[in-house]
Amino acid sequence: MEMRADLLIVGAGMVGSALALALRHSGLQILLLDGGPLTVKPFDAQAPFEPRVSALSAASQRILERLGAWDGIAQRRATPYSDMHVWDGSGTGQIHFSAASVHAQVLGHIVENRVVQDGLLERLHDSDIGLLPNARLEQLRRSGDEWLLTLADGRQLRAPLVIAADGANSAVRRLAGCETREWDYLHHAIVTSVRCSAGHQATAWQRFTDEGPLAFLPLTRDGQQDWCSIVWSTTPEHAEQLMALDEAAFLQALERAFEGRLGDVLQGDPRVCVPLRQRHAKRYVDEGLALIGDAAHTIHPLAGQGVNLGFLDAAVLAEVLVNACERGERLADVKVLSRYERRRMPHNLALMAAMEGFERLFQADPLPLRWLRNSGLKLVEKMPEAKAVFVRQALGLSGDLPELAKA
């Protein structure tokens, strides 16, 4: 059996789902396929927090509001944060960012990825977008002016335009032969949620240790501010040792590494360890093909920024496609799709380079670099204008924003 569509989106994660919703009024026949069941689980407020969270920027929030998904997210669980504290464990440099410095209420929201996903899926089920669950892609080849996709169960799909939204290890990217540049960070990240004796004060905390950055991101349950999501980036050897510890010993090591900033670490959920790679596709587009989100670029989870870039990709690509539709252009034309690449690639590369530089600077032990990062933090702390620029960027108040993200 062969199914046809104007547009196939492979991967119904946060970014693929957002793109589908952004195109829901375009008049295009869209099929969204995913290897998972695409069902929305009833939300259980007492269940443990999901280990994977994102720091959603104000721009991402505006996109989700306009897609009709934000209310469902906020009703489940989203923790606003108004401040961010960054300090260097081996020195005295520190920096404090606040939303108030640019007259905003919040810097962003910490939200479990599963919650964002369910908020988007709910809207998709209410739309007339075709959903294809349990669809695992096996083959992808050109057939005339179109793509022919073969699924694991033998079903075939045909479309002139395929969007790869299937994540960091994208099957579409591999099968289409798209080249990437990638390198290991020589770091693993341990993620989990922990309860502390002191409240997080609606603040994201980040300490740079000699092994790598450690972040405590605020979570809220029943109005209590005692839970945080942690991302601890460290060397593979150290990560292995930490994963082998029992809970009490791990919590003790965590409290030490965090200098007890939030009091005693009392309780923790199961830990997950993820090896970190940075990856960037050399091109985001080809004839009849576009890569978005982690399929196009994966960055360090240091600032929880990955999904914000992905939502901007989705909003820009949707805008480009809708404009091309109105002009009567052929959507699969690489000239049309390149407009998306030109708007997003420089922005994504700049953020990746900044993260990479940050990471390198804080990994470095030699004294001059330690001095540099200490004095750098102190210097920026004394420059309100520089901080305001950083905060405006983080809030998505500056730069080339798509309509869906504009304030």
Give the CA count within 13 Å in the CB-facing half-sphere of 125.
12
Cβ neighbour number for residue 168 with a 10 Å cutoff: 16
Beta bridge partners of 143: 146
**β-pair type (130-132, 30-33):** parallel
Q: Band of the pLDDT at 347, cuts 50, 70, 90? A: confident
Asked if residue 289 lies in contact with residue 176, where contact means CB atoms within 8 angstroms, the answer is yes
Stretch among 63-72, 94-103, 244-253 having the lowest mean pLDDT: 94-103
**pLDDT value at position 187?**
87
In a domain, 109, yes or no: no
Among residues 198, 192, 264, 207, the alpha carbon closest in space to that of 85 is found at 207
Report how far residue 146's alpha carbon sits from residue 186's, in angstroms, rounded to the nearest whole number: 40
Q: 262-276 in b/e burial notation, b at 16+ Cβ within 10 A? A: beebeebbebebbeb
Both tokens assigned to 251: 């919590």
The boundaries of the domain holding residue 298 are 2-64+121-182+277-378
Q: Which pTM value belongs to this model?
A: 0.94
Cα 67 to Cα 62, 324, 357: the distances in Å are 9, 20, 34
- Look at residue 379 and tell me whether its pLDDT is greater than 80: no
Q: Give the tens place of pLDDT for each residue, 248-278.
A: 999 999 999 999 999 999 999 999 999 888 8
In a domain, 228, yes or no: no
Whole-number percent of the chain with pLDDT over 70:
92
The average pLDDT across 302-327 equals 92
Q: Band of the pLDDT at 24, cuts 50, 70, 90? A: very high
Among residues 394, 389, 386, 377, the alpha carbon closest in space to that of 208 is found at 377
Cβ neighbour number for residue 332 with a 10 Å cutoff: 22
In a domain, 402, yes or no: no
Q: Give the tens place of pLDDT for each residue, 193-206.
A: 999 999 999 999 99
Asked if residue 397 lies in contact with residue 102, where contact means CB atoms within 8 angstroms, the answer is yes
In a domain, 106, yes or no: no
**pLDDT value at position 358?**
65
- How many structural domains are present in the chain? 1
The average pLDDT across 77-91 equals 89
Both tokens assigned to 258: 């965090």
CATH number of the domain where residue 359 is located: 3.50.50.60
Total residues found in the chain within this entry = 407
**β-pair type (272-281, 2-4):** unpaired
In a domain, 197, yes or no: no
